Homo-oligomer: A and B are copies of this chain.
Amino acid sequence: MAIPHPHLSAKSLRWISDQYFGMNGTFVETLGAPPTPLEFSRLAHVSRPVIIKGASSSTGADWTNEYLTQAMGQQRVSVSVTPNGRADSITRGSDGKLYFTEPCTEQITMSELLGSLNDEANQEVMYLQSQNGNLYTNDFFTTGTSSTEFEPLRKNVPSEVSWCSRAFGRPPDAVNLWIGNHKSHTSIHSDPYENIYTVVRGAKHFLLLPPTEGWCVQEHLHPHATYERSPEDGRLSLAPSNESVPPVRWASVTDPHLPDSLPDGAHPIEVTLHAGDTLYLPVGWWHHVRQSHGVTIALNWWYDAEMAGGSWTWLSLLRGIEDEVATEEDDVNTTAA
């Protein structure tokens, strides 16, 4: 189901993205050290990606399999399991239709997860991507207490990125640990958060598009499905959800690296983060993510986006998202109807 843009013609979207590209190009600044809060405030105002070297704030962990296995012990953690490494992605079902497909979520130990990630012959793909504040949730910042599956690793991960919290004047909304390998791809999407993303082991490869080029990924409404494990043969299969589950708005471009998958007007930016590198990924930027160099481990701090001012209106306009703001015109129409 295609989503018509409520306010902008294809020509207008193209004008906006050409204008933005003309002023910004594909420049990505690299800082050799963490910025001061004031420097970061300026960067967040510009809202373009920045790579920061030497800002890794993890402490006291070498992030080896041995360390993780010892620290986590028999604690079970939630991992995404798919047959193809495409969790939260547009996938064709056995009925030939395309679905937005969520992974099967299973609880296993760290030892089992790392064993699976190191087993190239494995027919299933695991990715620790629970992204629900699996290290620190908003509750931690508001009440000072909260428990998560990865509590044993909290001593290695500060709850805040100091220069970012000071720049925004608030703590993060969620802090997450990510563990995966080259078999997992994250499909292109944008988040309603400011994101500080640090790689502590392996390498992550981001393909980025600015909010102005969102039209290039062709969001559509897709019916919902989930990978389910068969009780009979134990295999995963795509199970369409029943019709009460609302369709999901998601990019139709499944792999922006494929030739001709993006239109001429797109100007993708490719960024690789190695261990110790941090990416500032501003709110609303589209990103597709891959991994390499064996087991890749990353941390991210999500900060609420600024809701005062015009940024949110701008991002909503670009995505063609209709918020329900009643206008007097609407009121008149309602009254008349």
**Which residues of A are at the interface with B, using a C-beta cutoff of 8 A?**
6-9, 11-12, 14-16, 18-20, 22-24, 37-38, 41-42, 44-48, 166-169, 210-212, 264-265, 306-310, 312-314, 316-317, 323, 325-329
Measured between C-beta atoms, what is the minimum distance from A27 to chain B in Å?
8
Question: Which residues of B have CB within 8 Å of A306?
Answer: 45-46
Known contacts A14-B329, A15-B6, A41-B42; A20 and B310 CB within 8 A of each other: yes
Task: Kindly identify which residue among B6, B41, B47, B325 contacts A22, using a CB–CB cutoff of 8 Å.
Answer: B325
Known contacts A45-B306, A47-B309; A18 and B167 CB within 8 A of each other: no
Measured between C-beta atoms, what is the minimum distance from A81 to chain B in Å?
39
Report copies per complex.
2
Measured between C-beta atoms, what is the minimum distance from A50 to chain B in Å?
11
Contact call B316/A19, Cβ cutoff below 8 A:
yes
CA distance A7 to B19 in the complex (A): 13
Question: Which residues of B have CB within 8 Å of A313?
Answer: 16, 19-20, 23, 212
Contact call A310/B212, Cβ cutoff below 8 A:
yes
CA distance A66 to B313 in the complex (A): 51
Task: Kindly identify which residue among B22, B264, B325 contacts A19, using a CB–CB cutoff of 8 Å.
Answer: B325
Question: Which residues of B have CB within 8 Å of A265?
Answer: 327-328
Contact call B312/A314, Cβ cutoff below 8 A:
no
Contact call B24/A308, Cβ cutoff below 8 A:
yes
Contact call A16/B48, Cβ cutoff below 8 A:
no
Contact call A38/B167, Cβ cutoff below 8 A:
yes
Question: Which residues of B have CB within 8 Å of A307?
Answer: 23
CA distance A6 to B9 in the complex (A): 11
Contact call B7/A45, Cβ cutoff below 8 A:
no
Contact call A47/B310, Cβ cutoff below 8 A:
yes
Closest chain B residue, CB of each to CB of A24: B308
Contact call B48/A309, Cβ cutoff below 8 A:
yes
Question: Which residues of B have CB within 8 Å of A167?
Answer: 38, 41-42
Contact call B7/A309, Cβ cutoff below 8 A:
no
Task: Kindly identify which residue among B24, B211, B212, B327 contacts A14, using a CB–CB cutoff of 8 Å.
Answer: B327
Contact call B12/A8, Cβ cutoff below 8 A:
yes
